[in-house]
A = this chain, B = another copy of it.
């Protein structure tokens, strides 16, 4: 069995480990509970769509852009949250995506406060989590996506990294273009088949 103390030790030891930047995860994904994973998997999907790989072993990290995933509960394991967020910069993380559900979705906020100045994208896992995620006071920045939009959080994290990487910007653009042409296809199909014909063709 793993204890919270074990993980705290792991993060603190990684922070002192002087790994080259390309071997550390660029994006950290944390969520308050594994019951949030079905919603948070969108961040995994977006980053994977853009060519990022998931780090599952710090000693055997992928070469290009990468990310890692952890469960960290603000209310049940506040010390784990502290350790994760305070060591993030030293562990080489550049952007954090933090998701939580419920009305008191404190994980994104607290992570943003503790990991500052690393930017944190908050993901409200439920509609009722939006207010709590977005409502930070002056001087304590977080940016948030809409409830459940972890796919967009993944894109946003990549956008932040792309401000100084034209290749990543090009990846983002290519992904977008694919989407756009899908809209054009379906639009013409609706027009040419007419409403009843198009609906019938979908069934």
A63 interface contact, C-beta 8 A: no
Contact of A34 among B116, B134, B169, B190 (CB under 8 A): B190
Contact bitstring A188-203, B, C-beta under 8 A = 1, else 0: 1011111111110010
Instruction: List residues 98-115 of chain A with CB under 8 A from any CB of chain B.
Output: 102-104, 106, 109-110, 112-114
Chain A contact residues: helix, strand, loop or mixed: helix
- Does the CB pair B163–A94 fall under 8 Å? yes
Contact bitstring A157-188, B, C-beta under 8 A = 1, else 0: 01111111000010011001001110111111
A contact residues, range: 35 or more
Number of this chain's copies in the assembly equals: 8
Cα separation A183 to B74 with both chains bound (whole Å): 11
- Does the CB pair B69–A191 fall under 8 Å? yes
- Does the CB pair A143–B145 fall under 8 Å? yes
- Does the CB pair B132–A132 fall under 8 Å? yes
A18 interface contact, C-beta 8 A: no
A16 interface contact, C-beta 8 A: no
- Does the CB pair B195–A102 fall under 8 Å? no
A88 interface contact, C-beta 8 A: no
- Does the CB pair B118–A159 fall under 8 Å? yes
- Chain B residues near A130: list those with CB within 8 A: 130, 134
Contact of A104 among B135, B161, B180 (CB under 8 A): B135
- Chain B residues near A153: list those with CB within 8 A: 141, 143
Listed residue (A7, A38, A74, A78) with the most chain B CB atoms within 10 angstroms of its CB: A78
- Chain B residues near A194: list those with CB within 8 A: 54, 56, 69
- Chain B residues near A51: list those with CB within 8 A: none
- Chain B residues near A74: list those with CB within 8 A: 106, 109-110, 113
- Does the CB pair A143–B140 fall under 8 Å? no
- Does the CB pair A119–B37 fall under 8 Å? no
Q: Which residue of B lies closest to A173 (CB)?
A: B117
